[in-house]
Amino acid sequence: MLAAMAKQVYDLGEVPELGVVPKRMLAQVIREERFGEPEQAFKLEEIDVPELGPRDVLVYVMAAGVNYNNVWAALGIPINVIKARQKAGAAEDFHIGGSDASGVVWKVGSDVTSVKVGDEVVVHCGQWAPDDPLVVAGGDPMFASSEKIWGYETNWGSFAQFAKVQDHQCLPRPKNLTWEDSAAFMLVGATAYRMLHGWAGNEVKSGDVVLIWGGAGGLGSMAIQIATAAGAKPVAVVGDDSKAEYCRKLGAVGVINRKDFTHWGMLPHWKDDAAYTAWARGARSFGKAVWEAVGERKNPAIVFEHPGEATIPTSIFVCDTGGMVVVCAGTTGYNATLDLRYHWMRQKRLQGSHFANDEQAAGITQLVAEGKVDPCLARVFEFNETGACHQLMRNNKHPNGNMAILVNAKTTGLKTLG
Ligand SMILES: NC(=O)c1ccc[n+]([C@@H]2O[C@H](COP(=O)([O-])OP(=O)(O)OC[C@H]3O[C@@H](n4cnc5c(N)ncnc54)[C@H](OP(=O)(O)O)[C@@H]3O)[C@@H](O)[C@H]2O)c1
């Protein structure tokens, strides 16, 4: 039988025969000369479909999730992802972002055994060298020096008709979900799962108060549900009262509006009595608001942090004795300031956390498949709106929850290829 001949490039949603790979593909591309506001930085281009290594998988992308990391990629800050890759030997002078995908396995490398052509998958964004000594020794691959975030630090993400991923990144797609729902939850969900379940000694448990910044955001909406599924009491923080009901519906026992307080930013110097006293007054009244939200004088066993500089002094202050502030970002800035006197005497933990390993990605996928965590998909965009939806995120004007982009899926609501 003659093998089907591939066209040079297919239109969006024009499905090639299963396993037939065209030479070129459509992609939303960022280039250095366009670095800046996302609306200008992303542009539709035709690019060669990438070659695969022995442990790689080519995924026909049905839908892609939208995350903050490609706002950073578009801006070119805090790092220029293209230059960083070129320094490490990459030839490409462009970036195809996209760190969340749902799709179909279209081709596999010679050593891949865990998935086969035709499998429907969701893709997590943790990549590492298969021969990394730490990985080979069975360590947590998120601690490996070769660890990278696919579709941000690496190229060939999901804002293209085909994405190049590693075999272990592919997980069976929860069949109860549409393509766009499947693409929406993994990056934020698995990150939140590791933050709440991944740090031995401070894992979330039944009855814990968990304070969650940005409760209606991508990470926050996942964290509220993961904490609720564990029997904990999540308290959400929002910047607008209109978001409170959304957080309550996800399981928050109480919601605090951060705009009711003014003590944000770096901690004043401990020798500056007046400024320090004013700050402490603000932090204490925020702590009281947490107790009111919980309905008892109970401090958070876990504070779920990502705003960073603006909020971390308060997070550390309100955290319970022996509790943990777990942080995965510094959206408002990178200087973390704290009063060490209280930190050591009350034996608190400030724990960095970054994405997730295979088991944690499987953990969130199972919670989603069981219906315990909703992907919180708020809005779906067309492929040509890739820049526009990142711009909404950049302007903090995006809807509550998560966003997704249709790539090869022609319409919303589809659960099959056609
Ligand atoms: N390291 C990792 O693995 C990892 C993974 C995922 C995300 N991240 C990072 O985490 C950050 C958040 O991601 P996301 O997807 O949750 O974004 P998101 O959907 O935009 O949510 C962030 C929330 O932060 C809140 N916020 C904004 N300004 C704030 C301020 N000054 N103080 C307190 N809260 C503020 C906003 O809610 P309100 O205005 O309602 O308060 C917003 O909804 C980004 O920087 C992202 O790159 C890191």
Please give the backbone phi and psi of residue 407, each rounded to the nearest 5 degrees, phi first. Answer: -105, -85
Determine contact, residues 225/192, Cβ cutoff 8 Å.
no
pLDDT digits (tens, 9 = 90+) for 242-263: 999 999 999 999 999 999 999 9
CATH topology of domain 24-185+375-406: Quinone Oxidoreductase; Chain A, domain 1 (3.90.180)
pLDDT digits (tens, 9 = 90+) for 106-139: 999 999 999 999 999 999 999 999 999 999 999 9
Q: What pLDDT shows up at residue 1?
A: 43
Q: What pLDDT shows up at residue 140?
A: 98
68 CB under 6 A from ligand 1?
yes
Element counts in the chain: helices (H) and strands (E): 13, 17
Give the residues of the chain that fall short of pLDDT 70: 1-4
DSSP assignment string, 336-386: ----HHHHHHTT-EEEE--S--HHHHHHHHHHHHTTSS---EEEEE-GGGH
193 CB under 6 A from ligand 1?
no
219 CB under 6 A from ligand 1?
yes
Residue 27's identity, in one-letter code, is A
Q: What pLDDT shows up at residue 3?
A: 53
How far is 305 from 300, CA to CA, in rounded Å? Answer: 12
Mean of the per-residue pLDDT values of the chain: 96
* Residue among 119, 96, 104 at smallest CA distance from 15: 104
Residue 184's identity, in one-letter code, is A
DSSP assignment string, 93-133: SSB---S-EEEEEEEE-TT--S--TT-EEEE--EE--TT-H
Share of the chain above pLDDT 70, in %: 99
392 CB under 6 A from ligand 1?
no
Query: Which residue, by CA, sits nearest to atom 39 of ligand 1?
Result: 239
Q: Does 189-352 match 24-185+375-406 at the fold level?
A: no
Q: What pLDDT shows up at residue 4?
A: 62
216 CB under 6 A from ligand 1?
yes
d(CA 198, ligand 1 centre) in Å? 20
310 CB under 6 A from ligand 1?
yes
d(CA 79, ligand 1 centre) in Å? 18
Grouping H, G, I as helix, E, B as strand and the rest as coil, residue 68 is: coil
Q: Which atom of ligand 1 is nearest to the CA of 396?
A: 20
Q: Which atom of ligand 1 is nearest to the CA of 402?
A: 19
Query: Which residue, by CA, sits nearest to atom 46 of ligand 1?
Result: 68
Domain ranges (residues) in the chain: 24-185+375-406, 189-352
Q: What pLDDT shows up at residue 5?
A: 73
Query: Which residue, by CA, sits nearest to atom 33 of ligand 1?
Result: 307
Q: Identify the CATH number of the domain defined by range 189-352.
A: 3.40.50.720
